[in-house]
Amino acid sequence: MLKALPAQFLASPEPGGWRRRPRRRLLHLISAALLTNPAYFEVGRFLGGYGFMNITSYSSSQFGEPSNVAGIQDLGLGYSADEIERSRVQDIGEGEVTIRLYEGRVVQGPLRGTQAVFKVYPGARAGASEADVMALNELRTHAFLQSDASGICDNIQFLLGAFETSTGEQWLAFRDDGRYSAADYAKLTSERQLKEKSGDMIFWNPFNRAYKLELRRYFVLKLLNGAMCGLVHMHNHDRLHQSLGPSSVVLNTVMEREGLYLVPRLRDLAFSVDIGYSSVGAGALSDGLWRRASAAGASTPLEKRAFGIADDIYGAGLLAAYMAFIPFCEAGIMDGISLQRLFESTFRLDIYAAREYCLADDRLSEAVNFLDLGDGAGWELLQAMLHPDYRKRPMAEAVLNHRFITGAVLRNY
C-alpha cells in the first residue's frame, strides 16, 4: 500500500483549497454583458435531456400530505411521516419539466469561438409555465453571481447568455467546461470495477491497484472540495442551491489520472433561493423550503435563513456520502436512493451506527476505509453535515476547511 501520492498530486497545504491554475480573465471582464441575441450563437447536435431533482415540501402531520412545489411531484421514497418528522430529513422530488441539451459555440463578438452547451426549457406555449419560472430563476441567479467580474467563482458553471425563441422556449447558453457529471463519473468508475473483478479487463497487480486507489481518493476529495467552494460562494452571496446532488456537479474530466486538472462546477440553479434578509420567506419555487423550515421550528427570518443554509448542507452531506460510496463499490452494490435510506430510515442519521453496519459487508470495505482516513474524518464530517437538528450542522465554510475536504487526510495517510 502506498503511503502517499507523488508530490504533484498532493493537495495545497493552505486550508480550504487545492492549487489552482490562473483564471481566464477575458470571460470575467465581460461577465456583465450576457449575450441575448440568438444570432451570436451556432447550435450543434442534440446531446440529450434530463429532468430536475429538487427538494420538495416538508412532510409532517402538521401539514398533512406532502404538497408539491409548483408541480414538483413527490417520488415516494418509502418514509413514513413520523420518520421524516423525527429525522427532519428532506423529501426529494423529480420535476415535471424536462430540458434538452445541445452543443454549440459563439460565432460573433469578443467570445467568438467559445464552445457552449445550450440548456433548453420548454416554453409556456407548450403548457410548461413552470419551466419559464425555472429558466428565469436560473438566469437571474447566474447573472447575479456573475455581476462582479472580480469575484466570479471558478466552481460554478459560467453563463454566456440567454434568449427566447419564437415558440416561447428559453435557451440558456453556458460555457462548455465539461459534459460529464459527478454521477456519470461514479457510474463509470463502479462499472469499471465490476468489469475488473469479473475478468473482462486486464488484472492490475497489487501495486498498480494501490496506486489507482490513491488516485481515486484524490479525485473524489478534489471533486467534493470544488463543489463546496461553489456552495460557499453561493452562500456568501445569499443564494441557496436547493438541488445539490451528483448530477448537479459538472466535471471537466472523469479520468482519475487527470485529477490534478479537475475543476468541478455547480450547475442546475433553477431552484436557487435568495436568502437575503428582505427575501427570506418569499420566492415562487421556495414554498416547500419555508414550509419545512416552519415544521422544524424556524419562525423568524433569521431562523429561516439558518434553516435554508443547513438544508443545503444536508444536501451536500448526501452528495459527500454518495461520492464516498458509489465510486468505491462495484456496480449494483449500492445506489444513491439505497444509501440515503440506509442513513435516514434504517439508522435515523446515526452515521457511526451505519459505519458498523457497512464494516460488516466486505463489498463496502473500500468506502469504509476511505471515510476512515484521518482517524475517521469522513464519518465525522458526514455526522455533522447530516445531523438531525439543523441548528447543529456546520456552515459551508467550516465544511470546506474540514481536514477531510481539504485533502489533509491524504497527506497524513
| Adjacency order of strands within the sheet including 180-181 | 180-181, 249-251, 265-266
Q: Do 275 and 287 sit in the same domain of this protein?
A: yes
Identify which of 395, 11, 372, 52 has the alpha carbon closest to the alpha carbon of residue 228. 395
Is the model's pLDDT at 32 over the cut of 80?
no
Q: Do 258 and 208 sit in the same domain of this protein?
A: yes
Neighbours of 391 (CB within 10 A): 12
Q: Which of 28-37, 185-194, 362-371 has the lowest mean pLDDT?
A: 28-37
Contact 231, 190 (CB under 8 A): no
Contact 110, 30 (CB under 8 A): yes
Helix ranges (H only) for 11-102 are 25-29, 81-87
Count the domains in the chain.
2
pLDDT for position 18: 56
Is the model's pLDDT at 218 over the cut of 60?
yes
Whole-prediction pTM: 0.82
Last residue of some domain: 177, 195, 223? 177
pLDDT digits (tens, 9 = 90+) for 3-13: 334 333 334 43
pLDDT for position 50: 72
Q: What share of the chain is helix, strand, coil (3-state, %, to 5)?
A: 45, 15, 35
* Phi, psi at 105, each rounded to 5°: -160, 165
Domain holding 38, by residue range, is 32-57+95-177
Q: Which of 222-236, 327-341, 364-378 has the lowest mean pLDDT?
A: 327-341
Is the model's pLDDT at 77 over the cut of 60?
no
pLDDT digits (tens, 9 = 90+) for 101-159: 999 999 998 999 999 999 999 876 655 578 889 999 999 999 999 998 888 999 999 99
pLDDT over 90, % of the chain? 61
Q: Do 105 and 210 sit in the same domain of this protein?
A: no
Q: Do 243 and 288 sit in the same domain of this protein?
A: yes
CA distance 305 to 380: 25
For residue 339, the domain's CATH number is 1.10.510.10
pLDDT digits (tens, 9 = 90+) for 294-336: 999 999 999 999 999 999 999 999 999 999 999 998 888 889 9
Asked, for residue 133, whether it belongs to a domain, the answer is yes
Q: Do 104 and 168 sit in the same domain of this protein?
A: yes
Q: Do 185 and 173 sit in the same domain of this protein?
A: no
Cell numbers that stand for 413 in this block: 495517510
pLDDT band at residue 232 under the 50/70/90 scheme: very high
Contact 296, 390 (CB under 8 A): yes
Q: From its phi and psi, is residue 210 left (phi > 0), alpha (psi between -120 and 50) or beta?
A: alpha
Q: Do 198 and 128 sit in the same domain of this protein?
A: no
Q: Do 163 and 246 sit in the same domain of this protein?
A: no
CA distance 219 to 261: 10
pLDDT digits (tens, 9 = 90+) for 16-27: 455 455 444 444
CA distance 159 to 45: 19
Is the model's pLDDT at 382 over the cut of 90?
yes
Asked, for residue 399, whether it belongs to a domain, the answer is yes
Is the model's pLDDT at 88 over the cut of 60?
no
Q: Do 159 and 194 sit in the same domain of this protein?
A: no
